[in-house]
Amino acid sequence: MGLDEAVYRKHADELIRFATTLVGPSRAEDLFVSAVLKAMSAPGWGEVREQRAYLFRVVANEAQMLWRADRRRRQREERAMSSSRVAESTISAEVRDALGRLSLRHRSVLFMSYWPEMTVAEIAATLQISSRSVERALTQGRRLLEEALR
């Protein structure tokens, strides 16, 4: 067993618990692995004296970068929605709230289908997904929207 592997095994459980606290259970392991790979492949890793503390800092930094990326993505989505050609008054608050609870893919295909009135082929080309994926997302999105509006 190499030195890096021993450090990994020694601190993995507590670092995963730490990552879970920062980003939740569904993202913790990916964040942990990414952080450890980044730390151990850094040029100065061999000179790090407090490896445990260093790994905790790297996990915390990776979590912060993930949160920033999520925030930037949400801001882009909000800007795209607010700059759309659809007037706010044309969509009722109830429908807007129901749309907001759908996945990004469902919202995208429903919006493109109803407001700019794009065809399935146009939506597929715009989103760079297959026509069949668009059809599935439309069917699921309509069903979910209908359930949310009941």
Structure tokens belonging to residue 129? 């997904």
Q: pLDDT tens digits for 29-74?
A: 999 999 999 999 999 998 999 999 999 999 999 999 998 988 888 8
Task: Check residues 24 and 1 and name the one with the higher pLDDT.
Answer: 24
- Is the pLDDT score of 81 beyond 70? no
- The one-character DSSP state at 43 is T
pTM reported for the whole predicted model: 0.54
Domain annotation for the chain: domains and CATH numbers: 3-79 (1.10.1740), 88-148 (1.10.10.10)
**DSSP assignment of 49-100:** S-HHHHHHHHHHHHHHHHHHHHHHHHHHHHHHHHTSSS-GGGS-HHHHHHHH
Residue 11: its H or E element: helix 3-23
Q: pLDDT tens digits for 93-147?
A: 888 788 888 888 888 888 888 877 889 998 888 888 899 999 999 999 999 988 8
Cα dihedral sign for 113, 117, 119, 125? Answer: negative
pLDDT of residue 28: 92
